[in-house]
């Protein structure tokens, strides 16, 4: 019996839809891609390494992308933004995230508005550079004066006199909600980090994320920003992660040192179904020229 063309196509479609008897159909897992943050080359001390240099080094080492630290940029004009965009493209590198700073924990509305405006401006810069995600900080009470001292108390900072934690949570929710129209308009995700300050507490981070309730707000999970057992915190955040920053501490940490097991971490995030970016933040005192390649090897072996 001869089959006509329609019957042949139908048979082929059935063959694609159903594996042969006795064989199971495998579903391929997405490859986790590795980026390096420009922060890995500069920890806010001395003259910053140019972003251009980091892009070129990332390409030489074989990273898939570069996360740009806003404070490391030397300009915000269109020509500079386009220069970075073109340089990354020429080196076949993505730029998955623009990591910025803002602080929504201010009693005065005008102070929060200043930080909202800054965030919207950075969303527009990310859009110009073709960067699909912007890192958010919640901010902090600032009752512990210096960031160095905040590290000593593991982010455990008392509220300002006359205020409660719930006040700061509500300020953050309202401020982020005011940023969301700009993010949606630009097609740029915002990723709230478990950063030292208000969102050191993972339950607070998840409360803010849930209350904002926008598909354009995700979570940036930092492997090093847990005051307690990091693996417990990672298991709790991994199902909600949009992007992950992976800390290493070669030469001893600038503020603290953690001995993180990245094979274990890889198991946790894969178990949660994560298939996105992992961005290296080398936060050790060793020179980036040697510590970043070591870190890349660790991450490659863990996430291969």
pLDDT one-digit tens code per residue, 245-277: 999 999 999 999 999 999 999 999 999 999 999
The predicted pLDDT at position 31 comes to 83
The predicted pLDDT at position 24 comes to 35
| pLDDT greater than 90 at residue 153 | no
78, with CB counted inside 10 A (0-12, 13-18, 19+), is exposed
| pLDDT greater than 50 at residue 208 | yes
Domains in the chain (CATH in brackets) are: 35-303 (3.20.20.150)
| Separation between Cα atoms, residue 93 and residue 59, nearest integer Å | 7
The predicted pLDDT at position 15 comes to 37
CB 114 within 8 A of CB 174: no
| Separation between Cα atoms, residue 224 and residue 303, nearest integer Å | 17
Instruction: List, as one string, the DSSP characters of 53-73.
Output: HHHHHHHHHT-SEEEEEGGG-
3-state SS of the chain: helix, strand, coil percent to 5? Answer: 45, 15, 40
| pLDDT greater than 80 at residue 81 | yes
The predicted pLDDT at position 17 comes to 37
Sheet strands (E) in the chain: 33-37, 65-69, 98-99, 133-136, 189-193, 217-222, 241-248, 277-282
| Separation between Cα atoms, residue 40 and residue 67, nearest integer Å | 10
Torsion of CA 204, 207, 213, 216, to 10 degrees: 30
| pLDDT greater than 50 at residue 76 | yes
CB 276 within 8 A of CB 239: no
| pLDDT greater than 90 at residue 224 | yes
The predicted pLDDT at position 304 comes to 81
């Amino acid at each position: 019996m001869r089959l006509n063309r329609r019957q042949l196509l139908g048979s082929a479609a059935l063959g694609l839809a159903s594996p042969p008897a006795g064989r199971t159909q495998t579903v391929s897992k997405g490859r986790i891609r590795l980026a390096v943050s420009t922060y890995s080359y500069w920890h806010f001390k001395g003259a910053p390494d140019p972003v251009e240099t980091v892009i070129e080094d990332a390409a030489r080492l074989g990273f898939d992308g570069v996360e740009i630290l806003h404070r490391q940029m030397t300009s915000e004009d269109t020509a500079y933004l386009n220069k970075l965009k073109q340089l990354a493209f020429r080196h076949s590198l993505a730029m998955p995230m623009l990591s910025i700073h803002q602080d929504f924990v201010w009693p005065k509305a005008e102070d929060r508005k200043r930080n909202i405006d800054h965030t919207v401006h950075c969303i527009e810069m990310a859009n110009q550079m073709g960067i699909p995600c912007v890192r958010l900080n919640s901010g902090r009470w600032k009752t512990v004066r210096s960031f160095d001292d905040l590290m000593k108390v593991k982010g455990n900072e008392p509220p300002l006199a006359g205020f409660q934690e719930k006040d700061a949570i509500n300020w953050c929710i309202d401020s982020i909600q005011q940023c969301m129209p700009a993010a949606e308009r630009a097609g740029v995700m915002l990723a709230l980090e478990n950063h030292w300050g208000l969102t050191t507490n993972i339950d607070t981070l998840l409360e803010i994320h849930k209350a904002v309730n926008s598909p354009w707000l995700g979570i940036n999970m930092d492997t090093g920003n847990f005051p307690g057992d990091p693996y417990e915190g990672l298991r709790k955040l991994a199902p909600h992660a949009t992007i992950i920053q992976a800390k290493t501490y070669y030469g001893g940490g600038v503020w603290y040192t953690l001995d993180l097991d990245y094979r274990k971490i890889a198991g946790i995030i894969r178990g949660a179904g994560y298939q996105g970016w992992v961005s290296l933040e080398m936060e050790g005192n060793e020179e980036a020229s040697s510590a970043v390649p070591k870190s890349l090897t660790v991450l490659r072996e863990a996430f291969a």
